[in-house]
Amino acid sequence: MIQSIIPTNVITGFLGVGKTSLIKALLQHKPEAEVWAVLVNEFGEIGIDAGLLNSNKQQVQIKEVAGGCMCCAAGLPMQVAINQLIAKAKPDRLLIEPTGLGHPEEVLKVLTQPHYRQVLAMKACVTLVDARKLDDSRYTEHEIFNQQLRVADLVLASKADSYQGALMTRLTDYLELVKGADRQVITVKPWSLKQADELSSSIFALLDLPHKGVTSTFATSAADSVSGVEPKIMAASTRSIQQPRLIDLNYSPLFSEQDTDSAASQYIQFDERGLQRKTNQGDGFYSCGWVFEPSYEFDFEQLVSLIKELDVVRLKAVMITEEGIAGFNRVDSELSIVEIDDAMDSRIEMLSMSKIDIQAVEAALLALSSRLGV
């Protein structure tokens, strides 16, 4: 099959900054006629983001790479997933969301290898950052946090409706410090999920900025960041218009719809209780996740109480409860809950900066659940 080269955006940012929420907003506003593909990577071993995205919009394909950073092992898991997405979806745009603990420089290195240059057109690398974290040394002293800002062509001040506009100036100053004198000027915009309908069109207009190309600088004032008023453009993009290149997806055996993993590796191995548990650790963080057979039903109110009480910095879950299927997203002490249309099973994953008492959490989850028909 012959098609145009695929515009590709890497969307990065530290844990809990709202990458998945941004992608969901972009999918909701994408052109109806376009096919978009999304590759999601999670630090933990239990894939959850695809369920939280829960896109009912047609022309969207979502694939997950669970377990650590997808740039590891020479980027093989990421490359396999990308190849399958391209072959299956034949997308007009590809969005890639590395884990919040991923190394974006390595991800971009993989995506700019020679065999991808004729397939992927690398566009703006989008980095989300909560400007309030500039007061937290756990973030500003973390190499991955700073690396995510160094590679950015577009920085979105996530959750900008939750803090004072003066932090936008601090963010701009911090970016100059992190990037140094040898990096081009960068586009900075406030972003808030509450203002998604208002801001998405201007974000769309910036997605096609070239990666590491000449970008614009937006002058953001305190009033702009709080009210969501469009900032003034200080310099225009100088991109030249080129004819789209064409690629032959049948030319290389890399682009196959067949999953290279065996059926056995894809099958979830439940224990005699009907659950599977996986753990991971790295970069000073610990994760633990569970998948429960669909026969499990959880008490919604008790589940909410447990999730609020857990000593974790990040938690995601898609759970079957007696009140329906619910998606949970917790960042520090902030918890959001959404209704999910469908789920094959229940799954929950948590991330902590200290070791997790796995047995205690597992016992608590089982205590507030029942198995239907078992």
For residues 221 and 129, state if they share a domain: yes
Domain final residue, candidates 248, 266, 299: 248
Whole-number pLDDT of residue 257: 47
Residue 262 lies in a domain: no
Alpha-carbon distance of 186 to 211, in angstroms, equals 11
For residues 86 and 167, state if they share a domain: yes
pLDDT tens, residue order, the chain (374 aa): 546 789 999 999 988 888 888 888 888 888 888 999 988 876 544 445 455 455 555 678 887 776 555 455 445 667 778 888 888 888 999 999 887 777 788 888 888 888 788 889 999 999 999 999 998 888 898 888 999 999 999 999 998 888 877 888 899 889 988 887 655 667 888 988 888 888 888 888 899 988 874 333 333 333 233 333 333 322 333 333 344 444 444 433 344 444 444 333 345 788 999 999 988 887 778 888 899 999 999 999 999 999 999 999 888 888 999 999 998 988 888 888 888 877 888 999 888 888 999 999 999 999 999 998 76
Whole-number pLDDT of residue 75: 56
Residue 363 lies in a domain: yes
Alpha-carbon distance of 154 to 186, in angstroms, equals 6
Residue 266 lies in a domain: no
Residue 265 lies in a domain: no
Domain final residue, candidates 230, 248, 266: 248
Report yes or no on whether pTM surpasses 0.85. Answer: no
> Residue 89: enclosing H or E segment and its boundaries?
helix 76-89
CATH code of residue 220: 3.40.50.300
For residues 339 and 205, state if they share a domain: no
Residue 253 lies in a domain: no
Q: Give how far Cα 287 sits from Cα of 99, 144, 282, 283, Å.
A: 13, 17, 9, 11
For residues 107 and 160, state if they share a domain: yes
Residue 314 lies in a domain: yes
For residues 175 and 319, state if they share a domain: no
**Owning domain of residue 362:** 274-371
Q: What type of residue sits at position 266?
A: Q
Residue 263 lies in a domain: no
Alpha-carbon distance of 62 to 209, in angstroms, equals 23
CATH code of residue 281: 3.30.1220.10
For residues 60 and 130, state if they share a domain: yes
For residues 162 and 279, state if they share a domain: no
For residues 230 and 335, state if they share a domain: no
Q: b/e map of 83-110 (b: 16 or more CB within 10 Å)?
A: bbbbbbbebbbbbbbbbbbbbbebbbeb
Whole-number pLDDT of residue 93: 94
Total domain count for the chain? 2
